[in-house]
Amino acid sequence: MSGVEAVPRLEAPAAGRERRIAALRGLGRSLAIAVISLGLFIALSAVVGEYRDLQLADGAYYFAAVLGLTLVVGYGGKISLGHGALMAVGAYAVALLVADEHWPLAGAIAAAAVVAAFVGLVLGAAASRLHGPYLAGATLTFAVALPQLGNRFPETLGGENGLTINPPAPPGFLGAGFPPERWYAWVAGLGAAAVLFFVLNFKRSVYGLRLRACRDDEVAASLCGIWVSRTQTLSFTLSAACAGVAGGLLTVVLQLAQPGAFPLELSLSLFAVAVIGGLGSIWGAVWGAALLVLLPNWTHDIANSLSLSGNVAYNMPLMIYGVLLVAAMLLWPSGIQGALRRLFLYGRGKLSGRRVRNQPLTEQGSAS
């Protein structure tokens, strides 16, 4: 059914002028969504305090990373456990360029995207030929292996202590008393909005459509003339660029890039919240990023109020990810967003109760 739904859209853009107008309209729509999201984000940061500003900043770069991941896993149907390592690539790129080469921040983050995209290209070239558990194992190995390079080349990459950058100062026109935390949040928010704009466009574009066609049925897609491996490699490349931006923003917020910031748990957590949030939808990435930021806070508070030990507080979020990941697979593969969507559709009487167990991860063909 999914392929049938997709086909009319493949043919839809008519020739010449109409097509250009449709493309421009789509571009405008993505831009509007990104700008409005950024506006809401900035308004939110004006309401909350300085401590919450840092959380907002965390949320913004996690959002960028999870969005990148959802590009590969949700739209592409390929698993990647290596996005924490791709974030590390972006983080180190920004740290090196800002600290050593004195690049401006925006240029450094753009460069981080390019460097990470290149790594993603190499990874994707291998990944497009691998399936299921093989790909999972290869990307898992990648996630463990890559951050170790920091320890191997301590002269350039700073070893265990990593690299530090000077805290980026808020520009003068914001006034002298402007809290730096809020500035970090704004920078991260701007970066995340750029990634959002990019992903929205990609999703709408013919490349996004091809990618989803490959996910739903590789054989049928290649019969339609889609070059499957090239499409999937492209998705890995772009997804890595998103992760690179996320890593670069992390360096801006923490002013630090070190191997310890990119353990295997980061890669696994990113993957977990992408699945739990709901693969293949922008909102799923929002829920995922919110979960990454808020869950550690809540468990910390709960552990404090129950006077549990620090071990429990520190490990509780991971434990919850683990439980939710298993539960989601057994009971609800489409995640939070899938649940909300069904609730919404059910409320409008468009859906009857239907068995959902053992279904694919994304609601296939629903041009979400």
Most distant CA pair in the chain, distance: 67
- In the shown chain, the binding pattern of residues 305 to 344 toward other proteins, with x for contact by CB under 8 A and - for none, equals ------xx-xxxxxx-xxxxxx-xxx--x-----------
- Residue 186 CA: distances (Å) to CA of 10, 57, 242, 249: 38, 7, 17, 11
CA angle 295, 272, 331 (to 5 degrees): 100
- The answer to whether residue 131 forms part of the interface with other proteins (CB under 8 A) is yes
| Shortest distance, position 195 Cβ to other proteins, whole Å | 24
Does 130 participate in binding other proteins (rule CB under 8 A)?
yes
**C-alpha–C-alpha distance, residues 124 and 111, integer Å:** 19
Q: How far is CA 43 from CA 47, 196, 341, in A?
A: 7, 18, 27
Binding pattern to other proteins, positions 44-83, x when CB under 8 A?
A: ---------------------------------x-x-x--
Verify binding: residue 277, other proteins, rule CB under 8 A.
no
Q: Is 229 in the site for other proteins (CB under 8 A)?
A: no
Helix 282-305 and helix 335-347, axial crossing angle in degrees, nearest 10: 110
- Both tokens assigned to 195: 């990634």
Provide the token pair at 121.
Answer: 């290209």
| Site track for other proteins across 181-220, x = CB under 8 A | ----------------------------------------
Q: Which residue, 140, 86, 84, is CA-closest to 116?
A: 86
* 364/283 Cα distance (integer angstroms): 16
Q: Give the nearer residue to other proteins in terms of CB position, either 14 or 145.
A: 145
Per DSSP, which regions of 181-271 are E strands?
A: 256-257
Is position 33 an interface residue for other proteins (rule: CB under 8 A)?
no
Residue 23 within binding range of other proteins, rule CB under 8 A = no
Q: Does 298 bind other proteins (CB under 8 A)?
A: no
Query: Interface with other proteins by CB under 8 A: which range of 52-60, 148-156, 172-180, 335-343?
Result: 148-156
177 near other proteins (CB under 8 A): no
Q: Three-state SS for 352?
A: coil
CA dist list (Å): 200 to 39, 43, 320 = 17, 22, 30
**Minimum distance, C-beta of residue 335 to other proteins, in the bound complex (Å):** 11
Size of the site for other proteins (CB under 8 A): 54
* DSSP three-state, residue 163: strand
Q: Taking Cα atoms as reference points, which of 161, 167, 165 lies closest to residue 99?
A: 165
Does 360 bind other proteins (CB under 8 A)? Our answer is: yes
Residue in 152, 348, 350, 354 binding other proteins, rule: CB under 8 A: 152
Does residue 136 belong to the site contacting other proteins (CB under 8 A)?
yes
User: Which positions touch other proteins (CB under 8 A)?
Assistant: 77, 79, 81, 126, 129-134, 136-138, 140-142, 144-146, 148-149, 151-152, 263-265, 268-269, 271-272, 275, 311-312, 314-319, 321-326, 328-330, 333, 357-361
